[in-house]
């Protein structure tokens, strides 16, 4: 039974296995390594995950969700086609899809996984990721920080020798910056800094904001489908600008037609606020590293790292253009695959050693003196401590005959406890006595998954473990079993149909984005293809697949050029004997 590595991304997720002495990415049914982290509920209750679901962001926005990773660990529910889901449950569905693809590809059962998380994920977010895996029926062997996985693969494959690297992972919803020291076969993460709410999505948002501002539109006032279509176009234009001088976005609403022309100069301006936040994170990582010295290299990973304007910005910052990793979208997954290999004790990976650090300081709220009004943070594990880390500290009663000692547990860098994220609390009873006589020892253990374990023992002998604040994340065994059953009950789209389903969803989306001749074309393709799907028609679908896809590609190209010039983009449909479409009236 294999252990697989999973990069569970905000935008895209990948799976990887270590076999025959190498990390091997696992293709999904579409033959692609990247599976869009998008979930959509069909009318019959079946759930689509991946590219076909992504199409439905435009056509069925109220039945579709993406970027839900940013809500992991938060008290939040998302409603899809009237059904409520927690972010962990949506992630569980993505994991289930990856798992099915892995089983099919490997031809064996898979029940264990190593999963990567942003280095800057806090305790709640990590627990939520573990829960998502459990809901998907997966046993998590280890959580590994995404940039650490990238560093592991980079060092392993580049055989770069002894060096100090900065890894910048700029994805859809998160930014992670790590400083890594490599010495022979030892990889030591010496500092991490990041921002859990910063990524390519913010750039798309800035573009859409600009579009609305220039056209006098209110974004919130747009129909969800139109809005999703705008975001889609914004993303396409953003990516196109890395290789083209300009790109446009269009929107047709009733009789009015709106547009925006983007150039790299405009994009650079729009990215200003985002890049300023990137700069803060990079500066912090540089300050936090345990040793000084020069960086040997800056390696860029993640989808957004490929943006030309991002490269320009970093070049300005470092005085030298950092280089984009060979496979920026895949390197994290490859590293997680290696980590899975290490967990499986693959012979040839025995020598590889990696150590990681914790991204946040952890402590309890405390009063130093009796007249203290505002509790501050007593740090037990300072940030950048090497994992696993453990520390104990003794705290004394402040009042006479105080009956208990209560500790609120926090994570963060603020002086005052209230500035930090509260993770939970723990309280122990103490025997009555004069102030300062009774005490309790608090023990923090931060494991290699970056999850905190807290216990307290009073001088009176009372022993307690952390009380959890976020009950949704820490279900009872029974609650967990019920949640697992709920996820198990959900039917994922049938194997073998995904490619065909994607064509249908794409045609449906193109229909909404066109008018005139383009729309007529989309309509006949939909009707033909849907009919084949409804009636089984597998052989015919196999035969027509390439032609259907070609037609959709042409439509897509026309939409990208200008979605609203319904008439001029398309020549007469070719006569083709093999493509025997019976067009409906
Ligand atoms: P995550 O790890 O958060 O799932 P990825 O690393 O896959 O994300 O990056 C997704 C983000 O990268 C999206 O915002 C997407 O628009 C952006 N992106 C993908 N390819 C490119 C590209 N070639 N140029 C610029 N941005 C890109
Ligand atoms: Mg990523």
Give tens-digit pLDDT for 465-506.
988 777 777 788 888 899 999 999 999 988 888 999 999 999
Task: Report CA 85 to chain centroid distance, whole Å.
Answer: 17
- What's the mean pLDDT in 541-554? 94
* pTM, rounded to two decimals: 0.90
What span, in angstroms and rounded, lies between the C-alpha atoms of 128 and 9?
14
Checking if the pLDDT of 368 tops 80, the result is: no
Helix (H, G, I), strand (E, B) or coil at 121: coil
- What's the mean pLDDT in 271-296? 90
Cα–Cα separations (whole angstroms), residue 523 to 508, 519, 573, 584: 8, 6, 14, 9
- Percentage with pLDDT > 70 across the chain: 96
Checking if the pLDDT of 571 tops 80, the result is: no
What span, in angstroms and rounded, lies between the C-alpha atoms of 163 and 293?
10
Q: Is 363 a pocket residue for ligand 1 (Cβ < 6 Å)?
A: no
Ligand 1, residue 169: give the atom nearest the CA.
Answer: 6
Query: CB atoms < 10 A from the CB of 515, how many?
Result: 15
Tell the residue number behind the tokens 């990793």, with chain if given.
Answer: 325
When mean pLDDT is compared across 118-127, 250-259, 440-449, the lowest value belongs to: 250-259
Question: Is 413:219 a contact under the CB 8 Å cutoff?
Answer: no
Query: CB atoms < 10 A from the CB of 568, how many?
Result: 12
C-alpha of residue 151 to centroid of ligand 1, in Å: 19
Q: Is 36 a pocket residue for ligand 1 (Cβ < 6 Å)?
A: no
Whole-number pLDDT of residue 585:
41
Question: Is 438:458 a contact under the CB 8 Å cutoff?
Answer: yes
Q: Whose CA is nearest to atom 26 of ligand 1?
A: 304
Q: Is 12 a pocket residue for ligand 1 (Cβ < 6 Å)?
A: yes
Checking if the pLDDT of 576 tops 60, the result is: no
**pLDDT-based confidence at 538, cuts 50/70/90?**
confident
Tell the residue number behind the tokens 């579009």, with chain if given.
Answer: 211
What span, in angstroms and rounded, lies between the C-alpha atoms of 314 and 311?
5
pLDDT digits (tens, 9 = 90+) for 176-188: 999 999 988 888 9
Checking if the pLDDT of 389 tops 70, the result is: yes
Ligand 1, residue 37: give the atom nearest the CA.
Answer: 4
Ligand 1, residue 332: give the atom nearest the CA.
Answer: 2
C-alpha of residue 302 to centroid of ligand 2, in Å: 5
Q: Is 304 a pocket residue for ligand 1 (Cβ < 6 Å)?
A: yes
The count of C-alpha atoms lying within 13 angstroms of the C-alpha of 188, restricted to the half-sphere facing its C-beta, is: 15
Nearest-CA neighbor of 211 among 264, 263, 274, 262? 262
Nearest ligand by distance to the CA of 333: 2
3-state secondary structure 330-342: CHHHHHHHHHHHH
What span, in angstroms and rounded, lies between the C-alpha atoms of 442 and 392?
6
Q: What share of the chain is helix, strand, coil (3-state, %, to 5)?
A: 40, 30, 30
Nearest ligand by distance to the CA of 149: 2
Tokens encoding 291: 């040793």
Whole-number pLDDT of residue 562:
64
Whole-number pLDDT of residue 569:
36
Question: Is 424:124 a contact under the CB 8 Å cutoff?
Answer: no
What span, in angstroms and rounded, lies between the C-alpha atoms of 413 and 119?
16
Checking if the pLDDT of 579 tops 70, the result is: no
Helix (H, G, I), strand (E, B) or coil at 277: helix
What span, in angstroms and rounded, lies between the C-alpha atoms of 130 and 142?
9
Q: Whose CA is nearest to atom 18 of ligand 1?
A: 303
Which of 172, 238, 271, 311 best tests ligand 1's pocket when mutated (most atoms within 8 Å of CB)? 172
Tell the residue number behind the tokens 């022309």, with chain if given.
Answer: 261
Whole-number pLDDT of residue 582:
45
Q: Is 420 a pocket residue for ligand 1 (Cβ < 6 Å)?
A: no
Which of 303, 311, 313, 333 best tests ligand 1's pocket when mutated (most atoms within 8 Å of CB)? 303
**pLDDT-based confidence at 221, cuts 50/70/90?**
very high
Q: Is 118 a pocket residue for ligand 1 (Cβ < 6 Å)?
A: no
Q: What is the DSSP letter of 136?
A: T
pLDDT digits (tens, 9 = 90+) for 173-217: 999 999 999 988 888 999 999 998 999 999 999 999 999 999 999
Tokens encoding 368: 């130093």
**pLDDT-based confidence at 50, cuts 50/70/90?**
very high
* Cα dihedral 286, 290, 293, 298 sign: negative
- What's the mean pLDDT in 220-226? 92
Checking if the pLDDT of 574 tops 70, the result is: no
Residue partners of 287: CB distance under 8 A and separation at least 6: none
Instruction: Lay out the sheet containing 47-49: strands in order across.
Output: 47-49, 38-41, 64-66
Whole-number pLDDT of residue 290:
73
Which of 200, 203, 336 best tests ligand 1's pocket when mutated (most atoms within 8 Å of CB)? 200
Nearest ligand by distance to the CA of 304: 1
Helix (H, G, I), strand (E, B) or coil at 120: coil
Q: Is 303 a pocket residue for ligand 1 (Cβ < 6 Å)?
A: yes
101-105, 247-251, 321-325 — most confident range: 101-105
Residue with more model confidence, 317 or 581: 317
Q: Mean pLDDT score of the chain, rounded to an integer?
A: 90
């Amino acid at each position: 039974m294999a252990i697989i590595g999973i990069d569970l991304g905000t935008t895209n997720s990948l799976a990887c296995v270590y076999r025959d002495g190498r990390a091997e990415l696992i293709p999904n049914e579409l033959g692609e390594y990247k599976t869009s982290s998008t979930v959509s509920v069909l009318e019959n209750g079946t759930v689509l995950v991946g590219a076909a679901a992504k199409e439905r962001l435009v056509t069925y926005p109220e039945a579709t969700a993406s970027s839900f990773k940013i809500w992991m660990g938060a008290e939040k529910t998302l409603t899809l086609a009237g059904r409520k889901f927690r972010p962990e449950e949506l992630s569980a569905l993505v994991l289930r899809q990856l798992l099915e693809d892995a089983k099919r590809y490997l031809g064996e059962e898979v029940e264990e996984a190593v999963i990567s998380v942003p280095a800057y994920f806090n305790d709640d977010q990590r627990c939520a990721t573990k829960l998502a895996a459990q809901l998907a029926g997966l046993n998590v062997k280890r959580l590994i920080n995404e940039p650490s996985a990238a560093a592991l693969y980079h060092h392993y494959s580049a055989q770069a020798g002894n060096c100090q690297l900065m890894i910048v992972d700029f994805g859809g919803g998160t930014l992670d910056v790590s400083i890594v020291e490599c010495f022979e076969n030892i990889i030591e993460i010496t500092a991490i800094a990041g921002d859990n709410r910063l990524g390519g999505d913010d750039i798309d948002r800035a573009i859409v904001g600009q579009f609305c501002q220039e056209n006098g539109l209110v974004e919130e006032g747009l129909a969800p489908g139109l809005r999703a279509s705008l975001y889609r176009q914004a993303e396409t234009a953003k990516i196109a600008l890395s290789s083209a001088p300009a790109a446009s976005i269009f929107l047709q609403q009733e009789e009015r037609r709106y547009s925006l022309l983007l150039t790299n100069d405009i994009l650079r301006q729009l990215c200003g606020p985002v890049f300023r936040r990137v700069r803060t994170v990079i500066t912090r990582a540089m300050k936090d590293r345990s040793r000084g010295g020069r960086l040997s290299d800056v390696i860029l990973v993640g989808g957004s790292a490929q943006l030309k304007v991002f490269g320009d910005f970093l070049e300005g910052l470092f005085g030298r253009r950092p280089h984009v990793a060979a496979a920026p979208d895949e390197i994290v997954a490859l590293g997680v695959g290696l980590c899975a290999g290490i967990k499986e004790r693959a012979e040839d990976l025995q020598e590889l050693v990696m150590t990681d650090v914790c991204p946040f300081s952890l402590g309890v709220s405390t009063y130093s003196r009796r007249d203290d009004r505002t509790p501050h943070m007593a740090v037990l594990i300072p940030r950048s401590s090497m994992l696993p880390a453990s520390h104990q500290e003794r705290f004394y009663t402040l009042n006479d005959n105080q009956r208990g000692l209560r500790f609120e547990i926090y994570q963060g860098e603020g002086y005052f406890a209230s500035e930090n994220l509260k993770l939970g609390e723990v309280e122990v009873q103490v025997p009555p006595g004069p102030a300062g006589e009774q005490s309790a020892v608090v023990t923090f253990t931060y494991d290699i998954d970056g999850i905190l374990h807290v216990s307290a023992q009073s001088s009176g002998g009372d022993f307690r473990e952390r009380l959890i604040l976020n009950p949704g994340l820490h279900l009872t065994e029974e609650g967990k079993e019920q949640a697992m059953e709920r996820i198990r009950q959900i039917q994922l789209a049938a194997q073998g149909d995904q490619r065909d389903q994607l064509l249908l969803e794409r045609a449906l989306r193109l229909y909404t984005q066109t008018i005139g001749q383009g729309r007529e074309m989309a309509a006949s393709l939909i009707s033909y293809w849907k009919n084949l799907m409804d009636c089984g028609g597998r052989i015919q679908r196999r035969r027509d697949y390439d032609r259907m896809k070609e037609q959709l590609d042409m439509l897509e190209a026309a939409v990208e050029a200008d979605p609203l010039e319904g008439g001029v983009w398309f020549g007469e449909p070719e006569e083709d004997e093999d493509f025997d479409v019976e067009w409906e009236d």
